[in-house]
Amino acid sequence: MRLLQPDPAAALLGLRAMKTVASAAGPMSPVRRTLLDAARRVILRVDADIDALAPITPPEFAAGFTSPELRQQFTTGMLVMALSDGVPPREMVAEVEAFAKAIGVSTPALTDLRLLAEGYMTIFKIDFLRRSQIADIMKNQLEQKGPLGLAKAVLTMRGVMEDPALAARYRAWNDLPEGTLGRSLVEFYARNGFSLPGERKGFPEAGLYHDLCHVLGGYGTDAEGEVQVAAFTAGFKKERPLFIMLFAVLIFSTGINMRPSNEDFTTVGVLGKPDMAERMFAAIERGNHVNRDLSDKWDYWAMAALPLDEVRKRLNVIPAG
């Protein structure tokens, strides 16, 4: 997922379209206004008074865009806008659909947005998750560990069983020198009270890249940190990066728990917090620089004993800010 800067004329059309979506069901909420202003300053870079912007029709909007990449980017922006402050009303979803249709963009995320707005929560979750990073993790776990390994990983994650031998392999990272990738990860787990792979409620190994991204990026585990990790991951993920971005937005700005585990911590409107949208955009840009898709069977064991700074250098994880 890359963030492209359109020319000034197209940027202004896009800003008007985003405002039209945000205002579809009435006055724009403070969260959506904050997000829109951040997009104006950081991505679109246009000097415009948001309150004075006139609405725009889908045909007017479509006339200013020929780039498929920009069309996809604005559709993504509208999806995030719709989900940024609780479950979106149907009128807002209809506007997103109309703009996407006008520019010829079709994505399953639009279908899922409609299912959510109409209250089909179970169908929405099933359809979304089968396209998300959760499905990718389970697929990779199956390919790497076989059917039995996948079953054990799922049961361990649910707290039904444990795998002492696997957990011992990761606990051994405590013996690595301080400042190494592996030692930093187990210390991250200890600070946050998380379970190691193999321990009850520990995450499958194929999904460990998520926690390693916390360590590599220096992101926290609060709502703001989780959104940034998702954005960072979307920056380097090759397959369906939109879904990992929306996964975090749904949990922390829409207030819908999408996790496959028993954890149920959600928030509403995190993207309206000061500088949060800017940090999300920065994390996407930072992820763009990473030189491989860490979510796709990355062999982190080969780097576990290396100093964290050396791992960042090899993966091209640039300093924050």
DSSP string, 181-246: HHHHHHHHHHHHTPPPTTSTTPPPGGGTHHHHHHHHHT--SSHHHHHHHHHHHHHH--S-HHHHHH
Q: Write the CATH number of the domain with boundaries 8-129.
A: 1.10.3680
Domain ranges of the chain: 8-129, 139-315
Q: Six-digit token pair at 248?
A: 């975090």
Q: Six-digit token pair at 35?
A: 């997000």
Radius of gyration of the chain (CA): 20
Are 275 and 147 contacting, i.e. CB atoms less than 8 angstroms apart? no
Ordered per-residue pLDDT tens for the chain, 321 residues: 889 899 999 999 999 999 999 999 999 999 999 999 999 999 999 999 999 999 999 999 999 888 899 999 999 999 999 999 999 999 999 999 999 999 999 999 999 999 999 999 999 999 999 999 989 888 988 988 899 988 988 888 888 989 999 999 999 999 999 999 999 999 999 999 999 999 999 989 999 999 999 999 999 999 999 999 999 999 999 989 999 999 999 999 999 999 876 677 899 999 999 999 999 999 999 999 999 999 999 999 999 999 999 999 999 999 987
Neighbours of 145 (CB within 10 A): 17
β partners of residue 307: 180
Are 290 and 235 contacting, i.e. CB atoms less than 8 angstroms apart? yes
What predicted TM-score, i.e. pTM, was given to this entire model?
0.94
DSSP string, 99-127: HHHHTT---HHHHHHHHHHTT-HHHHHHH
For residue 68, give every residue at least 6 positions away whose Cβ sits within 8 Å of its Cβ, in sequence order, or none.
none
